[in-house]
Amino acid sequence: MNKVRLLFFAILKEKAGTNQADMDIPIGLTVGEFKVQLFDAFPNLPKSRANLLVAINGEFAFDSEKIPQAAEIALFPPVSGG
């Protein structure tokens, strides 16, 4: 297993009930696959997987990218602006 550190920001922090958590995920998991497990582990998060922004070790990541060992995964809600 791959133990990763999750960081929740904005409304996600409120919905998750914490600003950070550790999670064990399978080795070689992609960001898209991770999102499925994330919503299973934190059912109160908004269910908009497609709009969830993910950064791995400080770099924004796409759904097809694999999550490295012991990664820090920051989770952001969709951003809108004017």
pLDDT digits (tens, 9 = 90+) for 28-41: 999 999 999 999 99
Q: What value does the mean pLDDT of the chain take?
A: 92
Domain positions in the chain are 2-76
Strand order in the sheet with 20-25: 20-25, 2-8, 72-76, 53-56, 59-60
Residue 49: the pLDDT is 66
pLDDT of 80 strictly over 70 = no
pLDDT at residue 79 greater than cutoff 80 = no
Token pair of 43, please?
A: 């059912």
Report d(CA 12, CA 56) in Å as an integer: 16
Kindly report each contact of residues 40-45 with a partner whose C-beta sits within 8 Å and lies 24 or more positions away, as own/partner: 42/15, 42/16, 44/15, 44/16, 44/17, 45/12, 45/15, 45/16
Q: Which of 78, 82, 1, 5 is nearest to 38 (CA)?
A: 5
Query: The domain 2-76 is classified under which CATH number: 3.40.50.300, 3.10.20.30, 3.40.718.10, 1.10.3720.10?
Result: 3.10.20.30
pTM here is 0.91
pLDDT in tens, 45-71: 987 766 899 999 999 999 999 999 999
Per-residue model confidence (pLDDT) at position 82 = 55
